[in-house]
Amino acid sequence: MATRHQVRQAVISLLYAKEMGSEMDEFSGEFLESRRIRNKQKEFTSELIEGIYANLSEIDELLNSRLKEHKLDEVGAVERAILRLGVYELKFTSTDKAIVINEAVELAKEFSNETATKFINGVLDGLA
């Protein structure tokens, strides 16, 4: 069974794929199955993705209000996906803020670089 961290990894991958032009509906089921994300964890994945897209304009407004030097569309696609997931969990779920920020930092370490890790930590900490 997949962990919540593995679910968040999958969410970042799916958000990135969607932003790159892929039709998530076509391959998300296969993708989640290949990651052994099933049952409750699959429901959790769907809740996160659907929640992010249902609140995307508010999430992006919050991020743009916090970004100092850049706007969200100037941030890399992977980092943008991590930030969107982090803001969604901070503002629209009951997940503990420290867990959300730690998960986002760990995702940035896995998917990006040290500069992005510090950037994501700072933005989410400021919004928390």
Interval 66-107: pLDDT, tens: 987 778 889 999 999 999 999 999 999 999 999 999 999 999
| Residue 53 identity | Y
- pLDDT over 80 at 124, yes or no: yes
Looking at the structure of the chain, the number of domains it has is 1
Question: What is the structure's pLDDT at 30?
Answer: 86
Q: State the CATH number of the domain containing residue 21.
A: 1.10.940.10
Instruction: For residue 16, give its domain range.
Output: 4-127
- Return the DSSP state at 23: -
Alpha carbons 75 and 83: distance in angstroms, whole number = 10
Residue 75 makes CB contacts below 8 A (sequence gap 6+) with 67, 83
Q: What is the pLDDT of residue 13?
A: 94
**Opening angle at CA 40, ends 109 and 2, nearest 5:** 40
How far apart CA 32 and CA 7 sit, in angstroms, is: 9
Give the per-residue pLDDT at 69: 76
User: For the whole model, what pTM was predicted?
Assistant: 0.93
Q: How many CB atoms lie within 10 A of CB 127?
A: 18
57-68: pLDDT as tens digits: 999 999 999 987
- Summarize the confidence of residues 24-40 as an average pLDDT: 84
Q: Is the confidence at residue 34, as pLDDT, over 70?
A: yes
DSSP code of 96? -
**Token pair listed for 63:** 């991020």
